[in-house]
Every structure is written in structure tokens, then in C-alpha cells.
A and B are shown apart, each in its own frame.
Chain A
Amino acid sequence: MALLELQGISKNFGAIQALDNVDLRLDPGEVLGLMGDNGAGKSTLVKIMAGNFPPSGGEIRLADEAVHFHKPVEAREKGIEVVYQDLALCDNLTAAANVFLGREIKLRFGPLKILDYKRMYDRAGQLFAELKSETRPRDLVKQMSGGQRQAVAIARTRLRDCKIILMDEPTAAISVRQVAEVLDLIRRLRDQGIAIILISHRMPDVFAVADRVSVLRRGRKVADKTTKESSPEEVTGLITGAIQSA
């Protein structure tokens, strides 16, 4: 049984058809590489799965049950976490505040609830340590490197037990060493049984961690095969259109 299944998903923005009848399937504990050129519809597909906007047509099924997301929170409640391309971080807040934004740890005094900074700093520090990141919980995100920002965004997803993590270009803007760290992290998440959709431009990253790869071109899915049966050359051809489909 598929963990997540998209059936015939389409999305129009006015006259532009960003997605045309896309099927996608994600099994438990699987890393799926989602590839495509700029404008192929990767980010649109992610945003539909994350509940940022509904599809114009088609159905999303979670564990064989049709779901309709109207807000990102609803997707999150169903166990889908997202690391956005623009990282969804507030520059003016600390790393810890960003990790806990929207689900702050609170102390209760009767009817009053106040922020428990100490526990949030401690827990955030713990998460960063698990990620082997040098990010410090009290630093403002504004002052951070791309890799540290990535760590903050990924730490967010680890707060709750989720089933699926969607990662939109997690290795796009970070140092070589931290790319390796992020890939390690993806493997570790997979070993814990979390299914991951990795959206990326970077061929070596996808082939390093993904079990399967799906390729989008101009809003259509043109290929879906295991990485063992494919090759970077073939996928490049599929992305550019040199190979029509596979």
C-alpha cells in the first residue's frame, strides 16, 4: 500500500498549466527524487502536497484515504512536513524561535500560557547536535550561513513524528561539506522509516540517496524508475527533452 499517492493531479494558474495529469506514488521508508528543469512544476507539486494550495484536478490519497488540504497545518497534522526552497524562516527571529514557530513550548500557570524559552533553547540545541550542525539556538537566522539555515529548517521537521518529509532543493545553497551532511541526514531519516521526496537539480545528490526518481517536464511526468535502472545521463536527457520518456 502506498503511503502517499497522487492521481491525475493538475494545476492551472490562469492560462498556464503548471501540472498536467501527474501521478506520483511514495512508499513507506522510500526516498524519491523528483527532478525537472526550472518551471517543470516541481515546486507546484510540492506546494500541493504541502497544502499551500489545492490542485485544480486530481486526488491526493494518504494511506489509501482521500485527503483535501486547505492549509499547510492540515498537511502537517497528517504527518507531512516540508522543508521549503525559500526555507520558510523568519530572519528576525532566533534559530530556536524559528524551529518552534507556530508550535511553541509553553509553561502553564493556570489559564496563562507563557513561552518556555529554556526548554526551547535546550531542545533546539539538541536537534542541531543530532544534525551535527554548528547552529546555535540563540543566534538570529539573519546572521546565518546557508547550511545553518538549512539545519534550522530541517530541525523544524524533527519536532513531531512525521511520516513524510518533502525537501525542496535542500542542497542548493550550501557548502560541499554540508551537502554531505544533509545527504547523511536524509539516509538517517529513511532508516527511521520516514519517506522522503527530494526535489533537486543536483544529479549526484539524487543518485546518492534516492531509491527511485521521477522526472517532470513542462508539467508532465515523463519518467518514473528506480535509480538502479536509470543513470544520470538518462535523467539529464529526460529533463531536457532529449529523451522523450522512459
Chain B
Amino acid sequence: MTDTTQNAAGAMDERLRQVSIWKKLLNRPELGAVAGTVLVFVFFGLVAANSGMFSSKGIITFLEVSAQLGILAVFASLLMIAGEFDLSVGSMIGFAGVAIAIPAAVWGVPIWLAIIFAFVLAVLVGYVNGLIVVRSGLPSFIVTLAGLFILRGLTIGLTREITGRTQVSGLKQLSEGDPIAWLFAGDWFGFLFANNPTVNGIPASIFWWLALTALATWVLLRTPFGNWIFASGGDKLAARNVGVPVNSVKILLFIGTACAATLFAAIQVLDAGSADTNRGLLKEFEAIIAVVIGGTLLTGGYGSAIGAAFGALIFGTVQMGIFFTGVNTDWFKVFVGVMMLIAVLFNNYVRKKVTEAR
């Protein structure tokens, strides 16, 4: 009798093997992305050491690119862990951009109100995307692919209808003195770079990226909602049977990706001072690549927001690194494609390791 009790407690079971630290590390989804980041930095550290890539200015440049993608990727990772995709985020960026720019530049609405308006639209778009997916049971791939075309078409159509062009500019002056514009386009902690005339400060997007990654990770690992995200992506029927509101979880995450796209748009529009109907093109795929490099499984149920943030860092660093090394940037896409393939192969290997009985 004592035997079984001890076995039940799991303390004395002679059949238990010690799990090595290496195996435990392999079980972390973000391992590949962290290792990849180290590799990328070592590579460019050797190749582009004297190109200015690792000056303050250079670092801020590639961090900013990574940060903007990272904002999208973090929310895309949450949605992917819950078992769904959002291919409409790229188009949502363009849509949100003009949703900020047209009211502000054409109708004279204050910037802060225009930004709120864009976020309200984002909540609506995310809600509709999510509702169609959970109600119809269709793959989100198809539903949001439709969204990709509808939103891009609406963006181009409405902008040309209202302004006669496909660009809206003049937001730089309008955002001056605005109470919330600095949240998106400002450079923070400028005093740190007082001696460096090329740097105004750290772009706000970098702080958003870090804060949202931390927030998403906390939600995933420390809150019931995070548990429900994993459960929804793991086995939605089982999750629903035990009372997890799977549909609400998914709809909320679709709203999340649409809002991330809108944040991305607000940052770019206020930074550039203009909106373009073509903004955000292919960003949905870049976000998915970052998420996959970050170790999240396309099938859902397994993944990490930190991994997605590292995936975005790799993406941004390579993109800017190739620029700094002077290699023809045409090769960038080859590199990204190969990297994604390696990441998927690696993840596949990890999944088998994790799945097999130990």
C-alpha cells in the first residue's frame, strides 16, 4: 500500500528518468529563436562591424524595424497559439492609416480623436473576422484572406473617393502639440543622446514592442486567459466541454491582431507624417514568419510571445544588416525564406521530441 502511495506522489517512482537540462531547454518554444538571434548577431558582428550597424544610430534603426514588426508578431503569436491566423493585418495597417489620416487631414478632426476612431474600427474589424471564423467554422486562413482583399480594396477605394489620390499627407504639422501623438511617434529619453547629433532618442515603438511582449507573456503564462488560449488551440472541443469560452477567446484575439495593426499604422503615419493606401503590404506574412521562427506551431496549442519578439528581432536585424553590409538587398528575401524553412524544420523536430513519450 505504501508503495502505491509513494508512486502516486511521484517521488519514489524508480521508472522516472532524470530529464536533462538540454531536454528541458528543447521544450521551450523560444529556444530556436534565441539561438537564431545569437547567430545573426555573431554573423553581422563579424561581417558588418565597421559599417555603422552597431553605432547608436544603427542599433536604433534595426531595433525600430524589429519593434514595428514585433508589435504585430506578438499578437499574431497569441492568435496562432489559439489555433487561428489573421492574414488581414497587412491590409488593416493600410486601412487604419487612412482612417487616422483622412479624418485628421481632410475633415480637421484632432489627431487623438482620429486615432481613437481608427482603434474603434479595428475592434469592429477584429470582431467581424473572429465572429465569422467561430460561427462558420471555416478556416481562418480563408476568412481573413477575404479580409485582406476587402480591407485593401476599401482603403484604396475610399481614399481615392474622398481625396482623389492614394496618399494623405500633412499630418506632421497637425500632430504637433497633440496630447497623445508622442505615444506613437515620439523619440523618448532624448537626453541620453545629448552628445550624439544623429540620434534624437529611442523611438516609442521599441517601448511598445517590449511592453506588449512582456504583457502577452504574462497573460499567456500567468493568467487563466492564457491557459484558455493554449486550450483553445490544443483541443477546442475539449476546452468547450469543460467550460472554456473558446469563441470569445478567439474573437478577442482577432480584435488583438487588428488593434496591433492599428498601433503599427499610428506609429508609421505619425512618424512619416503621411498615410499611403499601400502601407502594410505583406506584413501579415512577415508577422507569421516572425511567429514561426519564434517557435509557435502553425497548428496551435504551443508557442510563445517572447519567441515571436525574437523572431521579429531576427527579421529586422537581418533586413537592416543586409542593408548595412552593402549586399544587394534583393537577397534579403532569399535569406528570410531559407531561415523560415530552417525554423519550421527545427520546430518540427522539437515537436516530435516533445510529443514522444519520454
Contact = CB atoms under 8 A, between A and B. Distances in A.
B234 interface: yes
A162 interface: no
Contacts of B234: 90-93
Contacts of A128: 8
B9 A129 contact: yes
A89 B301 CA distance: 13
Given A72-B241, A90-B235, A101 B9 contact: no
B242 A102 contact: yes
Contacts of A132: 4-5, 8
Interface string B209-240: 00000000000001110111011011101111
Contacts of A76: 243
Interface in B1-36: 4-5, 7-10, 13
A9 interface: no
B334 interface: no
Interface residues of A, number: 36
B198 to A, nearest CB: 41
Nearest to A114: B222
Interface bin, chain B: 20 to 34
B328 to A, nearest CB: 43
Prevailing SS type, chain B contact patch: helix
A97 B10 contact: no
Contacts of A103: 243
B357 interface: yes
Given A125-B10, A142-B355, A89 B227 contact: no
A143 B241 CA distance: 21
Contacts of B238: 84, 86-90
Interface string A66-103: 00000111001000001010111111110001000111
A128 B13 CA distance: 15
Contact of B231 (A71, A101, A115, A133): A101
Contacts of B333: none
A133 B5 CA distance: 9
B301 to A, nearest CB: 4
Per CB-CB distance, the 3 closest pairs between chain A and chain B, nearest first, are A92-B234, A102-B243, A90-B234
18 contacts: A72-B242, A82-B241, A88-B241, A88-B242, A90-B231, A90-B238, A90-B301, A97-B227, A101-B228, A103-B243, A104-B227, A106-B224, A113-B223, A114-B223, A115-B223, A125-B10, A129-B5, A134-B10
Interface of A: 52, 71-73, 76, 82, 84, 86-93, 97, 101-104, 106, 113-115, 125, 128-129, 132-136, 140, 142-143, 156
Interface of B: 4-5, 7-10, 13, 222-224, 226-228, 230-231, 233-235, 237-244, 301-302, 354-355, 357-358
